[in-house]
């Protein structure tokens, strides 16, 4: 991955990172730093990073604005070759990045961290292959005129990343922005910055100085400064709906381009013909329990038809009870750690609130069987049944391993309940009757609907939400064109 020392759990001295600005690795202008604590052990500081501020944002934006025009002026094939070289290096570094992801985020190595690292390399290869699609059109204008359009980069893009899956979210943004001729400044989440800094070490070997920058620090200090900076042409934000609303408002004041991928409360609808072990396995993927429920696409509302409610729930409980909650670095582990104490307390608060609700039933509570605990932030999966769709546990994003099970009887009823949410990011429909499945999928108000599968995201599909789950699309050809380029129209009088 690199020749410098990367964080390890066993290291007695934390790894001291710097930020990437203008092709150089630098401290914060005022010398401040932050400690990075691994969720495996709240007592263990694995790294320190600069605590950037407004002055650091000024340096990064200036470097990006200087580098971007030259990068954009290169033939698209040169940018393509750079991305392919990065992809090769990322493939070689995938296992190291996966191990560091487990340490940095608490995501289990086998179920999440390794697939995330491999996806990153695939994304760079995919977008490298789209370099030739950055083209315009001509219109028939007669022999004495020429009418043409061209796709031009947006300019300098700020990519603000979350802590739950940093490499995966970077894969959604970075290669598409780079291949289309933009410079990008990534703001790494303060709770999980190390893999993004290691990603930058790989990329910088193949990019001109300033084309990629990485800043570390708090969102209120460095993220907000990026959002408000007049030299940032676009903000691509992934995070909570509440924070995203503020990002959109601040960027909108100066009419900057914005794309937002925000929260979710995704419905999973199981029809009577799908009470099978195979569907239970797919439903297990949909719950995102293997990511501690720390996923905005988590299928956290399970709508079970009353005719199969009990039998399907029994199957699911049996399967969930066999998931292993443990050290995310271990191959046997299915579920790793919650990111930090604040998030653990938030998840537990939702659980406590739900358990105090009249009428709720606990179908599965894995906490008594936990064999791991402090000093790590471990939380076992929970399945709550007989939930009403109007309850808080069914309406707000928990971002933890908690599933709400809601019975239904009629198709119109379940579609109405699925859509009765201000979120609209993802949805899951399980039905052997494919006509019924597709009809339902088209009625659900979500940006991404999976039918008879729980984990089918792939490079090249448009990804983004409806309603309060955000706007804009990433991770696809159309997402690249619509999100990271703009059309310039040129009309020429000949003769």
What three-state secondary structure class fits 36?
strand
Query: Does 187 participate in catalysis according to the annotation?
Result: no
Pairing of strands 24-26, 19-21: antiparallel
Examine residue 162 and say whether the peptide bond preceding it is cis (omega within 30 degrees of 0): no
Q: Length of the chain, please? A: 495
Query: In terms of DSSP bridges, do strands 257-261 and 470-471 run parallel, antiparallel, or are they unpaired?
Result: antiparallel
Do 363 and 387 contact (CB within 8 A), yes or no? no
- Which residue among the candidates 296, 397, 445, 467 is catalytic per the annotation? 296
Question: Whole-angstrom Cα distance, residue 347 to residue 331?
Answer: 25
CA dist 359 and 176 (Å) reads 48
Among 91, 257, 67, smallest CA distance to 178 is for 67
SS3 276: coil
List, in order, residues 6 or more apart from 42 with CB less than 8 Å away. Answer: 340, 341, 374, 375, 376, 377
Give the integer Cα–Cα distance in Å for 179 and 325: 40
**Residue ranges of the alpha helices (H) in 160-299?**
166-179, 194-204, 224-228, 241-253, 277-287
Burial of 239 (0-12, 13-18, 19+ CB in 10 A): buried
Give the active site residue among 173, 187, 234, 467: 173
**In sequence order, which residues have a C-beta less than 8 Å from that of residue 445 and are 6 or more positions away?**
418, 419, 424, 466, 467
If residue 69 lies in a helix (H) or strand (E), which one and from where to where?
helix 54-73
User: 261, 282, 397, 445: which one is catalytic?
Assistant: 261
Distance CA 167, CA 161 (A): 9
- Closest by CA to 223, choosing from 173, 164, 161, is 161
User: Helices 94-105 and 194-204 meet at what angle, rounded to 10?
Assistant: 150
**261 catalytic per annotation:** yes
| Active site (annotated) includes residue 268 | no
Task: Give the separation between CA 451 and CA 449, rounded to whole angstroms.
Answer: 7
| Cα 279 to Cα 431: distance, rounded to the nearest angstrom | 9
Q: Which of 7, 213, 194, 200 is nearest to 86 (CA)?
A: 200
User: Catalytic site residue 133?
Assistant: no
DSSP 393-428: HHHS---SSEEEEEEE-SHHHHHHHHH-SS--SEEE
- DSSP class of 209: T
Distance from chain centroid for Cα 375:
27
- DSSP element (H, E) containing 178: helix 166-179
Residue of 222, 278, 265, 321 whose CA lies nearest to 465 = 265
Catalytic residue, from 116, 204, 221, 474: name it. Answer: 474
- The residues annotated as belonging to the active site are 173, 261, 296, 474
């Amino acid at each position: 991955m690199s020749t410098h020392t990367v964080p390890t759990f066993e290291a007695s001295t934390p790894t001291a990172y710097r930020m990437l600005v203008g092709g150089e690795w630098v401290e914060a202008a005022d010398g401040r730093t932050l400690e990075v604590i691994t969720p495996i052990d709240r007592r263990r500081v694995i790294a320190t990073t600069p605590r950037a501020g407004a002055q650091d944002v000024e340096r990064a934006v200036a470097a990006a604005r200087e580098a971007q025009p030259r990068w954009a002026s290169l033939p698209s094939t040169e940018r393509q070759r750079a991305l392919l070289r990065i992809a090769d290096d990322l493939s070689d570094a995938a296992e190291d990045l996966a191990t560091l992801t487990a340490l940095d985020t608490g995501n289990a190595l086998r179920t999440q961290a390794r697939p995330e690292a491999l996806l990153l390399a695939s994304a760079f290869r995919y977008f490298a292959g789209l370099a030739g699609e950055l083209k315009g059109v001509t219109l028939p204008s007669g022999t004495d005129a020429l009418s043409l359009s061209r796709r031009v980069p947006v300019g300098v893009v700020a990519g603000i990343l979350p802590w739950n899956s940093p490499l995966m979210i970077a894969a959604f943004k970075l290669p598409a922005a780079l291949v289309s001729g933009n410079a990008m400044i990534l703001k790494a989440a303060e709770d999980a910055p190390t893999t993004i800094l290691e990603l930058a070490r790989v990329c910088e070997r193949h990019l001109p100085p300033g084309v990629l920058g990485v800043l570390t620090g708090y969102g209120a200090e460095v993220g907000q400064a990026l959002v408000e900076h007049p030299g940032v042409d676009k903000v691509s934000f992934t995070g909570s709906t509440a924070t995203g609303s503020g990002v959109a408002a601040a960027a909108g004041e100066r009419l900057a381009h914005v794309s937002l991928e925000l929260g979710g409360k995704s419905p999973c609808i199981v029809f009577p013909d799908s009470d099978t072990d195979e569907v239970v396995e797919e439903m297990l993927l949909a719950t995102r329990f293997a990511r501690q429920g720390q996923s905005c696409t988590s299928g956290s509302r399970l709508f079970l038809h009353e005719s199969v409610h009990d039998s399907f729930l029994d199957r699911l409980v049996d399967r969930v009870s066999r998931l292993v909650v443990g050290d995310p670095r271990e191959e046997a582990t299915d579920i790793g750690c919650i990111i930090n104490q604040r998030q653990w307390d938030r998840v537990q608060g939702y659980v406590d609130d739900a358990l105090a609700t009249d009428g709720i039933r606990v179908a599965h509570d894995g906490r008594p069987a936990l064999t791991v605990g402090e000093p790590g932030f471990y939380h076992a999966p929970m399945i709550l049944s007989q939930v009403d769709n109007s309850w808080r546990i069914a309406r707000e994003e928990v971002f933890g391993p908690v599933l709400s099970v809601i019975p239904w009887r009629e198709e119109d009823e379940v579609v109405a309940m699925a859509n009765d949410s201000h979120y609209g990011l993802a949805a899951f429909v399980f039905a052997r009757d494919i006509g019924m499945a597709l009809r339902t999928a088209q009625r659900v108000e979500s940006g991404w609907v999976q039918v008879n599968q729980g984990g089918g995201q792939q490079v090249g599909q448009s990804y983004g939400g409806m309603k309060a789950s955000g706007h804009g699309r990433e991770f696809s050809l159309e997402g690249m064109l619509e999100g990271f380029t703009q059309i310039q129209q040129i009309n020429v009088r000949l003769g």
